[in-house]
Amino acid sequence: MEHLGKHALVTGGGSGIGRDIAIALADAGANVTITGRRLDVLQAAAADHPRLHPLQMDVGDESAVRDGIAAAAADRGPVQICIANAGIAEGGTFAKTSLATWRRTMTTNLDGVFLTFQAALESLPDDMTGRMIVVSSIAGVRGLKNAVPYTVSKHAVIGLIRGLSEEYLHKRPVTFNALCPGYVDTDIVQSQLPGLMRKFDVDKAGAAALVARANRSKQLLDVAETTAAMMWLCSDGARSVNGQTIEISGGQV
């Protein structure tokens, strides 16, 4: 098991992409701290996986992040693999986007990554290898209609990755990368289908096809595809991959 004995941390690890990544890391031998705002969801995700450890934590709360990650590191060791996956997406036209929506999006999607990485790095000895990876989005490399705050936040975390990769390049054996999936077949996407079915008078398959149009392949991605790319970025074989943006969308974005 490649990651046996390592401590990994996955924010937003109770469901969807985060949960799948956390399970894969645990299956590879890592002890994985999974974080989120809903403890019951985290506990359910960890119920059948002894290497998954729930930690209730809002990534937008500085004290919760710093104290939570410090406590997790005290229990399970330095965070050698940090997956900043937690995020929110609220749609709407730019003209009707409130400042509260803008700030809420930035607090979770950008500030949360900043705090998570900073706290994880503080747990890590200077000579220990580390992988810091953010789950951005295809919205991080192109604009999405009616999603300006989300688009800006996902562009911003890619800038954070690029800046950190340069800052730490000759100082510490830590890499920083971004994964940019398109629309993935998760519970969140499935929950949107009934509304699309009503709005466009289509069946479930038709609604899924409407969402999938945003992917170059015109198909929803499987969660396993994102997880496989993440596991490669965490591996020893990707030790020279640094400051990169990996797109998973079925074609060039």
Q: Which CB contacts under 8 angstroms, 24+ apart, belong to 188-192?
A: 188/16, 189/220
First-to-last alpha carbon distance for the chain, in angstroms, is: 34
Contacts of 45 (CB under 8 A, 6+ apart): 13, 14, 15, 19, 22, 34, 52, 54
Query: Is the torsion defined by CA of 136, 81, 2, 49 positive or negative?
Result: negative
Q: Which two tokens stand for residue 134?
A: 């953010």
Compute and round to an integer the Cα radius of gyration of the chain: 18
150 is known as an active-site residue: yes
Selected catalytic residue, list 117, 150, 168, 183: 150
Q: Which helix (H) or strand (E) holds 35?
A: strand 31-36
Active site residues: 150
